[in-house]
Amino acid sequence: MARPRPTGPILEARDLTLRFGEVTAFQDVAFAVMPGELFAVIGPNGAGKTSLFNVLSRVYTPTSGQIALDGRDLTALRPRDLAGAGVARTFQNLGLFGPLSVLDNVLVGRHHLMRAGALRAGFGLRSARAEEREHTAAAMAALERTGMADVAGVAVENLAYGDRKRVEIARALAMHPRLLLLDEPVAGMSADERVEITELVRALHADGDLTILLVEHDMGMVMRVAQRILVLDFGRPIAVGSPAEIQADEAVIRAYLGAAPEAATA
Amino acid sequence: MAALARLPVRPGVLAAIVVALVLPFGADSAQLSTCVFIVIAAIGAVGLNVLTGYTGQISLGHAFFLAIGAYTAAVLGGDHGISALIWIPASGLTAAACGLLVGPTALRLRGLYLAIVTLGLLFIGQHLFFNLDGITGGPQGRAFPAVQLGSFDFSPGQQLTIGGAVIDHDGLYYYLALIILLASLLFVRNLVASRPGRAMQAVRERELAGAVLGVDVARTKLMAFGVSSFFAGVSGALFVSYLSFAQPSQWDLLLSIQYLAAITVGGIGTLYGPVLGSIVVFAIPDLAKSLPFISDDGTGLSPGNFSSILYGVLIIIFFVVEPRGVAGLGPRLSAWLRRPGAATTPMGRVAVQSIDQEEAGSR
């Protein structure tokens, strides 16, 4: 947490292109996320949102272009280095470990901050136990923030979907990230759950110096929480701006509602 | 929850330990001998459970690591007369070293492919053990050293008298193996409730999600191979020391399958499952001898064949009916008692929700 905060963008993409053979997932995408910002990427189905998210979270390597995290090349990092670099992510369909308890799931988020190996842990050495206590406290604090502390001992697979998402977000928070990547956080949720999670994301962002980038299909959610929005359509960026600007943008309206004559098909 | 994990054991476990401690005084020699094999095998099963149960990596090569431990004991204890205090841990360490050497090959593979590669390891091992006469005695096999602590040794005929209680050859091995088993369980209990153990379970559940959280998947699998092989090595060394003689043909696929059966039947990925499973699986061959339709003279079903068939049947039954094994029967039973009819929910999951919570807490 003592890392110096650069004044430039925390995350910057330039001329980013991803192709699978002849298929172009997205091309010439450029944007910059400033520290503390809540930045959203939206677009209709097939716009390339998830592919872009997977590039940012190092699942895919871009065909061309650059991504910089704090001015350093993000593509040089392996997926497991992301946690140490201050990047946490959630998964569209949850990346939780079902049979493990809520607390254990969140504690896996502390993995990169902990040191105990098999021998120290297995022999139950004092240092390992002290570390465990310290990080359990941090994990519980993260669970408090998402309102899941009272089910810490419950196996995740026994929770409702919305609660699982809260656990996953708590786990990401427990990693003490500077940049939080949320992959469609309200996908597959009921209307009530959507409202709750939207409120949670907004509250977490309001709490402190967390930078959040979220990819989302749900316009309502994005308009309520995002400060700036990038809109993709068929793999191309068509607009960047504040929610108000995006709502008034001709190209965006066309992309979402279809061109005027076919408006009914949307 | 972490605080709960450090409390002394639950009442049921405490009762089981007490029963285990007095057991030699109520068993005849043949029964005690079966118990010795069960306890020694349970150490190896606890090890396999770390790899297969908690980390989700299927291995058919467990017999290979048992053999490595056995031959380390033979060379150090038998050929060089080194104390058991050295060769028991050394057997584990040598096996662990082999596990770490084999690991990198295994890291690239998962599921069925890993099973096939570890099966290959077993056959390479067989070839080596049959041909390295100097170490293994070749096809005829070789003798193995009895445990020797200072001037005292555990050979047949030896006995220890403590305040009127006589502990004979079998009893000595029984208590030694029991101490090592309890220590192994304590180690694994600590392990799975802390950083490396959570990483192992994360790898089992979702490798990618684990990696994104900073878990080094390759390192975690390697560690699981090492820990698993360590316990296999110790188990193998005690096994041959108690038997006092072994042939290379013993380290075969059936032995590996017995261990897989033990953790499956007992409850895969549960702490005490491997022990419960070992009791079931490793008692079968001895129990089978007393059944009327089983005979050793070639006229009926031999105890060996009968046992093999039973392992297969048990694995299938438990996979289909109770994936959490014998260890899952307790919670299932108490849920059924509390809420009649509830035990028929799929896999007992919903019905035993509250017990899951307790278990998660005590782990």
- Cβ atoms of B195 and A87 within 8 Å: the answer is no
Query: Nearest chain B Cα to A177, which residue?
Result: B213
ipTM computed for the complex: 0.87
Query: Nearest chain A Cα to B190, which residue?
Result: A122
Give the ranges where B23-111 is alpha helix by DSSP (H). Answer: 29-48, 62-73, 84-107
Residue A141: other Cβ atoms inside 10 A: 14
Q: Tell me which amino acid residue A40 is.
A: A
Give the ranges where B267-324 is alpha helix by DSSP (H). Answer: 273-288, 303-321
Residue percentage of chain B with pLDDT more than 90: 52
pLDDT, tens only, B276-305: 999 999 988 888 877 777 777 767 778 888
Q: What is the pTM of this model?
A: 0.87
| Chain B residues within 8 A of A126 when measuring between CB atoms | none
For the ranges A3-17, A131-145, A188-202, B122-136, the lowest mean pLDDT is seen at A3-17
> Using DSSP, how many helices (H) and how many strands (E) does chain B show?
16, 6
Residue A22 has pLDDT above 80, yes or no: yes
Q: What is the pLDDT of residue B348?
A: 38
Q: What is the pLDDT of residue B298?
A: 67
- Nearest in space to B255 (alpha carbons), one of B29, B70, B35: B70
CA B162 to mean position of chain CA atoms: 30
Considering only CB atoms, B2 lies closest to which of A108, A117, A132, namely A132
Residue A101 has pLDDT above 60, yes or no: yes
- Nearest in space to A148 (alpha carbons), one of A165, A128, A124, A131: A165
Residue A15's pLDDT band (boundaries 50, 70, 90)? very high
| Chain B residues within 8 A of A96 when measuring between CB atoms | 206, 209
Residue B349: CA atoms inside 13 Å, Cβ hemisphere, count? 11
Q: What's the CA gap between B280 and B261, in Å, rounded?
A: 9
Contact A128 B211 (CB under 8 A): no
Q: What is the pLDDT of residue B355?
A: 39
Q: What is the pLDDT of residue A102?
A: 97
Q: What is the pLDDT of residue B50?
A: 97
The nearest CA of chain B is from the CA of A131 a distance in Å of 9
The nearest CA of chain A is from the CA of B348 a distance in Å of 12
Residue B206 contacts A where some CB pair is shorter than 8 Å: yes
Contact A111 B214 (CB under 8 A): yes
Quote the DSSP letter at residue B298.
Answer: S
Q: What is the pLDDT of residue B340?
A: 54
Q: Give the angle subtended at the CA of B231 by the CAs of B229 and B237, to the nearest 5°.
A: 100
pLDDT, tens only, B99-123: 998 888 777 787 788 889 899 999 9
- Residue B185, token pair as written in the block: 């369980």
Cα dihedral A104→A110→A113→A116 (10° resolution): 10
Per-residue tens of pLDDT for chain B, all 363 residues: 444 445 567 788 888 999 999 898 888 888 899 999 999 999 999 999 999 999 999 999 999 999 999 999 999 998 898 889 999 999 999 999 999 988 887 777 877 888 898 999 999 999 999 999 999 999 999 989 888 877 778 888 777 887 777 888 899 999 999 999 999 999 999 999 999 999 999 999 998 899 889 999 999 999 999 999 999 999 999 999 999 999 999 999 999 999 999 999 999 889 999 999 999 999 888 888 777 777 777 677 788 888 888 888 888 888 888 878 888 887 777 777 776 544 444 443 433 343 344 444 443
Residue B107 contacts A where some CB pair is shorter than 8 Å: no
Mean pLDDT in chain B?
A: 85
- Nearest in space to B360 (alpha carbons), one of A76, A81, A159, A10: A159
